Amino acid sequence: MAKKVSGGMKAKRITLDVVTYVFLVVMCLIWLIPFFWLVMQSFRDGKGQFISTFLPTAYTLNNYKALFTEFDVMNFPRMFMNTFFIACCTCVISTFFVLSVSYCTSRLKWKMRKPYMNMAMVLNLFPGFMSMVAVYFILKALGMTEGNKIPLAMIICFSAGSGTGFYVMKGYMDTIPKSMDEAASMDGCTHWQIFTKITLPLCKPMIVYQVITSFMGPWVDFVFAKVIARTNSQYFTVSIGLWSMLEKEYVDTWFVRFCAGAVLVSIPIAILFMVTQKFYQEAMGGAVKG
Amino acid sequence: MSNALTKAAASRNRAAEPYSLFSALRGGGPVVWLSCLIMGLGNILGGQIVLGLIYLAIEVGIIRFLVSAGGGIYWISMLPSLGWREQEKVFNEETFVYEYVAGDQSQLILLYGIASLCVVGLLVLVWQSSVRSGYKALCLKKEGKHVPNFRQSLKSLLDENVHKLLMFPPTACLAVFTVLPLLYMMSMAFTNYSKEGDHLVLFDWVGLDNFIAIFDSTSTIGKQFGSVLTWTLIWAFFATFLNFFLGTIVAMIINRKSIRFKGLWRGCLSMTIAVPQFVSLMVVRSMLQPEGIINRMLLNAGLISERLPFLTDATWARVLVIIVNLWVGIPYTIMQVTGILQNIPAEQYEAATIDGANVFQIFFNITLPYMLFVLTPYIITQFTGNINNFNVIYLLTRGEPMGVGNSAGDTDLLITWLYKLSVDQQKYNLAAVIGIFTFVVLSIVSLITYRSSGSYKDEEGFK
């Protein structure tokens, strides 16, 4: 990086530092410019996807207002509520599944334990989209792809497979000493009590991580939800809604509103992500310290 | 006396399964044999009346489902032919109107047939468990021991059998919504279920024809498969290794002792992880359009005289998806390697500096080998993840640019092609073949990695 050796070691180090800082600033600019542009576009007054200047020439709040007042083509608040409802149910079910499976594979001895873990690993290897159409056919055969059962179908889609995603949680539970279970067992605790009164409280940071991660799933997925909701726009989730705002027939009017909607969705998701990272790091410190 | 008891207990424990199906059939006697036909009989005679009745009810329920009209047996019997009756228009003599008579729907036959086979499998499992449980109850009764009543059996679900309670819901969901769809989809690979040749309602088994067509490098579909596969591998290679090298370098730069605000730099870079991909990538897609802001800026600045074909020319598009993937992927690498970088023993660096090694020599001879050693499993996971990287490709280019008459675009990966083939083009049979192929490749790679990884070996020590 710094080729010039000017004077002693100190001068060289300072040059190197300056170069590094410049490099980092440039990197961060590259990383942030698209988001900055997105935010600026969301305040742009006017229509159309393509404009001739980087920054808008006129600013307005109407794009945000339109998302919450104009419902004839896209009902953004309803999409938001749909996604929120689906995400809440999904996160309860998946967290319960993941915790059950992790506890059983980490703490208990049972005959099918190893086969189950191998099966989960194999299932994880199948590309998720491979069975997507088949899942749709199955839900259709169960009569769950019409009308108000669509949200239920989405909840199933997002949470049914979570029984295979237990590796991180299991790894965490493995760090809890077995002697704690044994001690509780001596004191007359049943396995269920050990699970609810000892293991779960010790896993708190990891549970928070798991809850938020599965809560975010429905917000960021657009493929599964799109296959199930098809054209039933009243059951759209936020991501399908935003996606369809950029379809050819809408993009001219809706591009700036897409930007506004994207900002509104991204902020909470980004904050939640930061929270998960905090808890994840805390969790990686180990379950029982000392 | 107590010594003899413990010995007996030990010997019973040594026999792998005291009440296995085999021992039940051999040593059970007429009641157990009869309970093979009437499930739950053993339990009822052994004193576990409620449990026995539940087994019996399950048996009656399943058998009723199987033998009823339009039930399981019917669907299984239709599986070999997959149906042949077309929808017909029949003139109704009484009402003088044409009426439609529903024909067979191969897709439903296949689904219900496979589901019915699964139900038969379930019946076998329940049957096995009922015979064993009945045998156990009878044995306990004969030995004059206490036979747990229904309430105690339920209670045991919260203690020594808690895994049955906890594992049931996740496993049931997996079976219905993951395993069954996979079986269903895999069986489609052996049929001609496709829009091509109008086989969307009625289709037949065609054996390995689809596999032959796809792996035949002279057929149209085979050529496309070849080019998509090549691009998928090229993409996965560059996406993985460029991300890894550049991410490591950036992480090292941020890690330098004299650099301040480390959290700030890492935070800025991780914006691309925090913001949902469908937002960030669609914004980039919009910026890269021919009319988009990047072309406009370059034109305004006079750097180019005509618009650059970012996403409309095959080579441009391919290079760009790799570059944009760096934008998304480098932060992940930074997150992954930051901790590991700090673990490299400082003495190695000191020794190298004393010997007069420069920055590059240190990087290539100390840092990189160490990182490769520690992170090989991570890199291979990334590689398989990139083969399946649906989001970046589909959101950025949707697989385009697309040649005329092709079903795959120039930037399509196997996974996006699979999606297009099944959702857009309804060539389910080809999609299924590609899915199976991807799975086989990925599972070979992953099994090798997983088997040699530390976590698997640790798991062997589980007691």
> Based on the domain organization, do B333 and B440 belong to the same domain?
yes
Q: What is the pLDDT of residues B186-242, one digit of tens each?
A: 898 999 888 887 888 888 888 888 899 888 888 888 888 988 999 999 999 999 999
Q: What is the pLDDT of residue A285?
A: 67
Domain end, chosen from B136, B156, B176, is at B156
CA distance B334 to B332: 5
Q: What is the pLDDT of residues B329-367, one digit of tens each?
A: 898 888 888 878 877 777 888 888 888 888 788 888 888
Q: Scanning every residue of chain A, which has its alpha carbon at the shortest distance from the alpha carbon of B262?
A: A24
> Based on the domain organization, do A26 and A105 belong to the same domain?
no
Mean of per-residue pLDDT scores for chain B: 83
> Based on the domain organization, do B29 and B95 belong to the same domain?
yes
CA distance A274 to B60: 54
> Based on the domain organization, do A183 and A252 belong to the same domain?
yes
Q: What is the pLDDT of residues B271-290, one digit of tens each?
A: 888 888 888 998 898 888 88
Is the preceding peptide bond at B401 cis, omega within 30 degrees of 0? yes
> Based on the domain organization, do B260 and B375 belong to the same domain?
yes
Number of domains in chain A: 2
Amino acid at residue number A2: A
Mean pLDDT throughout B104-121? Answer: 89
> Based on the domain organization, do A33 and A102 belong to the same domain?
no
CA distance B374 to A79: 44
Per-residue confidence band for A85, with pLDDT thresholds at 50, 70 and 90: very high
Q: Show Cβ contacts of residue B90 under 8 Å, excluding neighbours closer than 6 positions.
A: B98, B99, B100, B101
Q: What DSSP line would sit under B51-90, residue for residue?
A: HHHHHHHHHHHHHHHHHSTTSHHHHHHHTTTT--PPPEEE
Q: Determine whether the interchain pair A129/B418 forms a contact, defined as Cβ–Cβ distance below 8 Å.
A: yes
> Based on the domain organization, do B369 and B439 belong to the same domain?
yes
At A111, list the tokens. 């005959």
- A50, B296 in Cβ contact below 8 A? yes
Mean pLDDT throughout A252-280? Answer: 88
> Based on the domain organization, do A52 and A148 belong to the same domain?
no
- Nearest alpha carbon to residue B31 among B19, B44, B42: B42
> Based on the domain organization, do A130 and A271 belong to the same domain?
yes
Of residues B116 and B379, the one with the higher pLDDT is B116
pLDDT higher than 60, residue A184: yes
> Based on the domain organization, do A48 and A114 belong to the same domain?
no
> Based on the domain organization, do A173 and A59 belong to the same domain?
no
- Asked whether residue B204 is domain-assigned, the answer is no
Those of residues 89-118 in A touching chain B at CB distance below 8 A are: 96-97, 100-101, 103-104, 108, 110, 113, 116-117
Q: What is the pLDDT of residues B420-455, one digit of tens each?
A: 888 888 888 888 999 889 888 888 877 777 666 655
Give the closest of B177, B422, B442 to A133, CB-based: B422
CA distance A216 to chain B (A): 9
Q: For chain A, give the longest Cα–Cα distance.
A: 79
Q: What is the pLDDT of residue B454?
A: 54
pLDDT higher than 60, residue A288: no
CA distance A13 to chain B (A): 9
Q: What is the pLDDT of residue B84?
A: 81
Q: What is the pLDDT of residues B21-62, one digit of tens each?
A: 888 887 777 888 888 888 888 888 888 888 889 999 999 999
> Based on the domain organization, do B129 and B214 belong to the same domain?
no
- Asked whether residue B7 is domain-assigned, the answer is no
Per-residue confidence band for A95, with pLDDT thresholds at 50, 70 and 90: very high
> Based on the domain organization, do B269 and B330 belong to the same domain?
yes
Mean pLDDT throughout A2-17? Answer: 68
- Domain that residue B102 falls in: 14-156
Return the percentage of chain B with pLDDT > 70, whole number: 93
Give the closest of A34, A123, A255 to B280, CB-based: A34
Those of residues 217-236 in A touching chain B at CB distance below 8 A are: 219-220, 222-223, 227
> Based on the domain organization, do A200 and A178 belong to the same domain?
yes
| CB atoms near residue B452 (< 10 Å) | 12
pTM of the model: 0.84
Asked if A209 has any chain B CB less than 8 Å from its own CB, the reply is no
Q: Between vectors from CA B26 to CA B10 and to CA B49, what angle results, nearest 5°?
A: 85
Best of B168, B177, B334 to disrupt the A interface by mutation (most A CBs within 10 Å)? B177
Q: Show Cβ contacts of residue A257 under 8 Å, excluding neighbours closer than 6 positions.
A: A63, A66, A67, A245
User: In chain B, what residues touch A157 (CB-CB under 8 Å)?
Assistant: 177
Best of A10, A125, A174, A189 to disrupt the B interface by mutation (most B CBs within 10 Å)? A125
- Asked whether residue A70 is domain-assigned, the answer is no
Give the closest of B108, B287, B423 to A133, CB-based: B423
- Domain that residue A215 falls in: 75-284
- Helix H, strand E, coil C: the string for B307-369 is CCCCCCCHHHHHHHHHHHHHHHHHHHHHHHHHHHHHHCCHHHHHHHHHCCCCHHHHHHHHHHH
> Based on the domain organization, do B115 and B220 belong to the same domain?
no
CA distance B389 to B382: 10
CATH number of domain containing B442: 1.10.3720.10
Query: How close are the terminal C-alpha atoms of chain B, in Å?
Result: 31
- Asked whether residue B187 is domain-assigned, the answer is no
Backbone dihedral angles phi then psi of residue B39, each to the nearest 5 degrees: -65, 140
Number of domains in chain B: 2
> Based on the domain organization, do B125 and B251 belong to the same domain?
no
Q: Determine whether the interchain pair A127/B258 forms a contact, defined as Cβ–Cβ distance below 8 Å.
A: no
Q: What is the pLDDT of residues B54-97, one digit of tens each?
A: 999 999 999 998 888 888 888 888 888 887 877 777 777 777 77
> Based on the domain organization, do A113 and A17 belong to the same domain?
no
Q: What is the pLDDT of residues A116-139, one digit of tens each?
A: 888 888 888 777 777 788 888 888
> Based on the domain organization, do B267 and B145 belong to the same domain?
no
> Based on the domain organization, do A170 and A252 belong to the same domain?
yes
Neighbouring C-alpha atoms within 13 Å toward the C-beta of A188: 0
Highest-scoring range by mean pLDDT, A75-89, B374-388, B390-404: A75-89
CATH number of domain containing A277: 1.10.3720.10
Give the closest of A24, A100, A171 to B170, CB-based: A100
